[in-house]
Amino acid sequence: MLPAAVQLLAFALALTGLLGIVAATLLPSWKVSAPAWSGAMSPVSRMQGLWMDCVWYGAGIFSCTMKTSALSLPPYLQATRAAMVLTCMVSVFGLCLASLGLKCTRWGGGPRAKGHTAMAAGGCFVLASGLCLGPASWFTREVIGAFLTSDLPDSSKFQPGVAVCVTFLSAGFLLAGGVIFCLSCPGGGTGRPDPDSSVDPDWFLLHQRLRAGSPSVRCPTGRGPERERGKPAPAIRDSYSWQEYV
């Protein structure tokens, strides 16, 4: 598994990405118009988001209108809405798994179980990154295409806003954190017991030597399954011969 410091870095990157995705989902600046100074009560700048449209007037007045009808929205906007909500949900689930897979926490099982949990958290972060990158790219393409093909004056055209930049940046943080967590693979089985398991390591080594065909094996005194069950250890001879087990 990766060191605890690297896992904490990945957790911080994923948390930063989640906060950025939440902020971008709520911001009204997905599409912004060029500023136009014409009067005190004339619209200076217009912004359109996923949930509301806002207008900033020259006198310093800021007015927003909620988008109440989802069916009247264009398909790319509906897809971006759904994708951003799903991204937030998958990212929160990934953070819950990541908190269980961190080596510095005491919950989540042994090192091998933590490794698998960390890999699952990394998969969630990578999935969340893809969920927001696709619709955000579609949204940006539609806005730029409408800006280049429209015959309206530049003051009436819209261009990608700050929320789009925050979305792409947050998706990068989620992707980086997810890739780091995916590298927390515990590796293949080595045939050795888990350090947190209840198997006595001395008896495990004895069993391994017997399977390897060692002619004489020393047995630890006072160790064994009887002691694990609270029973007194039987009298054990100093050495065992391999022929006695055939």
Query: Model-level pTM?
Result: 0.68
Tokens standing for residue 155: 């003051």
In the 8-state DSSP scheme, what is residue 106? Answer: S
For the segment 78-127, what is each residue's pLDDT rounded down to a tens digit?
Answer: 999 999 999 999 999 999 998 888 887 777 677 788 888 888 999 999 99
Burial letters for 94-111: b for 16+ Cβ neighbours within 10 Å, e otherwise? bbebbebbbbeeeebeee
Query: What is the spatial distance between Cα 16 and Cα 96, in angstroms, rounded to a whole number?
Result: 15
Dihedral sign, CA of 139, 151, 48, 46? positive
pLDDT band at 240 (very low <50, low <70, confident <90, very high): very low
Q: Which pLDDT does position 172 carry in this prediction?
A: 94
Tokens standing for residue 213: 């065909």
- In 3-state terms the chain splits into helix, strand, coil percentages (rounded to 5) of 55, 10, 35
Q: Which pLDDT does position 70 carry in this prediction?
A: 80
